[in-house]
Structure 1
């Protein structure tokens, strides 16, 4: 697996609008990517995509997941002056979308552009613009159409409940960084896509039947907590490693989560992942995320009797203007490549 190729795939993925609740285009992109490989695929009722590679052991299965849904918003209100109020999808701060370009997609598929602004944006008009709280009441979308009233907006086909997605502003730098919105979790989705491609093209037979699930509701808490085959004994979520004060994770390594807000991850699986990293010279970090939950923990809360784990590339400024490095992508790819060929943590 080539890190640069994966970075290019990430760039394609983040450019596809897919806020939680409106992920069809991203899921279809992944389906189209896999069709030439001839792999088994099916969707669950929620719209997620399950890809399966048969293994030597069909009685015990592995399950890896990454999510393609992202942060976003919905039209909450059409104001009398033609601006839009928003309701957020996912857990992020209002200040991280101030000044951002966005798209509004109507129920019949029309797309309009706009900018997310503070209502009291002009310092030449509003004395307290600097100190005004960035919240649902004060933030709005300025549509790039000639609209002066709610009636004008509705004539465009825009209505309450229309999805709003944010411009990812993706860039790949010569120094090996990729910076973009929605690296959470499209970086990991691209990593799994490349992993499946590598396994199939190199005719690598896995020891256990292994499922790769691309979930579409993780940001709102229930992406990968269903459609898990009953033979599954080991579940590994592939999601970003969060960086900040007190954290061990950086932008160059694969993060192995030992505990998040839901509690500790399975000790045996964690030990197996660490041993694989050591054996193959993979740069890794162990970390605890106090304000984090994954699809793996969601699956446990749904009652699945599974061994669960969480790994992923280190990502800076999560749920804002995110960034990671090619090295983190490569280290995550390597760990997953060896993991799917290794014995189960609990036989």
Structure 2
């Protein structure tokens, strides 16, 4: 068995709460439905540049940056978040001067009803506003039939805030099939710390990650392992981290919204460690290591399993990423609907990321190469020392959880 070096001992770092809140609100105000994310990626790149962290952008719009470790080991880590959100696209110009929508990403028209929107035409200097309404929107006209109308994207339409009542009028505005439609977030932070807004998935995660990276920079802490940051722009349509990862990455931690709902353990005031999702379980060793870091430092962390859920790392694994993968989240009530989270949960998440970025890899020697001898492969009977120091002894199957 390879000798394991004593890992670096992580320490909690001061977090800039004002920065977290400001960045979150600024991110929320930038429309970024999947497929139209140039503006928000530019914003994130500028935030990274202000921290002294250079970044590059891929042809497909993913942003890549890193905090360099002290040495090249052939095994790095990556944190992955996404800036794209659910949204819509103009599917049809209707004869009544309104717009039929095709959803971008997976979300119900139930939660689109009443949303204020921006319609982005090909004229970059002109943005048309509107509102999503059910086809039967007037109680004085339809009476009880309002409540009998079904739910679906063919049951809603966009009322444009211009004097138009036919297709010609829409075309005169520059509106056409294929135009992006962004649902306005209407964000607010309550005195008790709740954040209410559309698109907390995953802009709250981006804010937490930037806050964690800022904490390391402000404290002058160099991570023991080179830490890559990949900001993807197509997670909501399933592509996610399918490209842009450095080939040396051995561990990937995705950061995304955690589901607060009946039957789930996630809470708005806590960070979440996902043990599995709709694609399958996450890496056994990496998830337990993250749980150990949180427990040792008093980070409020709950474990959860999600049914109808996939994240950036699913796309990474499907694209052939040769890495251990895990998912950390922030509890969000009413995901892909009228979302709400809490600043406490985002703070716990940012602190756990700070601790993780200061720790060694789970298996720094084994994972330095993409493959090795079977006799050296980590198993339940050969657990590593935790990221905070060696365990009292090897873990057997009975107490591996």
Global fold match (TM > 0.5): yes
Q: CA deviation at 1:345?
A: 1.6
Moved more, 276-285 or 126-135: 126-135
Unaligned runs of 5+ in 2: 1-14, 365-401
| Aligned equivalent of 1:223 | 240
Q: What residue is the counterpart of 2:44 in the other structure?
A: 30
Q: Which one of 10, 21, 32 corresponds to residue 18 of structure 1? A: 32
TM-score by length of 1: 0.98
Offset at residue 4 of structure 1 (A): 4.1
Question: What CA distance in whole angstroms lies between the structure 2 residues aligned with 1:25 and 1:172?
Answer: 24
Quick one: which of 54, 58, 62 aligns to 2:68? 54
Please give the secondary structure, in 2, of the residue aligned with 1:233: strand
1:163 is matched with 180
What residue number does 2:358 align with?
A: 341
Determine helix, strand or coil for the equivalent of 2:164: coil
Say which SS state the counterpart of residue 75 (structure 2) adopts.
strand
**Whole-angstrom CA distance in 2 between matches of 1:339 and 1:38:** 21
Query: Could you list the per-position Cα deviations for residues 189-226 of structure 1 after superposition, in whole angstroms to 9, with x for gaps in the alignment?
Result: 01111222222232211111111111100000012121
After alignment, is 1-10 or 295-304 more displaced?
Answer: 1-10
CA offset at residue 231 of structure 1?
0.5
TM-score by length of structure 2 reads: 0.85
Deviations 1:122-165 (A, max 9, x none): 12222522111122222100000011110111011110000001
Aligned counterpart for 1:39 among listed residues 53, 68, 83 = 53
Structure 1: 5+ residue stretches without partners:
none
Q: After TM superposition, list the pairs within 5 Å mapping 1:261-272 onto structure 2.
A: 261-272=278-289
- How many residues matched? 347
The corresponding residue for 2:157 is 140
Asked if 2 retains the 8 angstrom alpha-carbon contact of 1:2 and 1:330, the reply is: no
2:91 aligned residue (65, 73, 76): 76
Inter-partner Cα distance in structure 1 for 2:273 and 2:80:
15
- The more displaced of 188-197 and 318-327 is 188-197
Quick check: which one's strand share is greater? 1
Residue by residue, what CA displacement relative to the aligned partner does 1:262-304 show, whole Å, maximum 9, x if unpaired? 1100010011101000111010100000110011121111111
Tell me how far apart the structure 1 counterparts of residues 322 and 71 of structure 2 sit (CA, whole Å).
19
CA RMSD, aligned part only?
1.1
Q: Which runs of 4+ in 1 moved over 3 A?
A: none
1:1-347 aligned at under 5 Å gives the runs: 1-58=15-72, 59-109=74-124, 110-127=126-143, 128-347=145-364
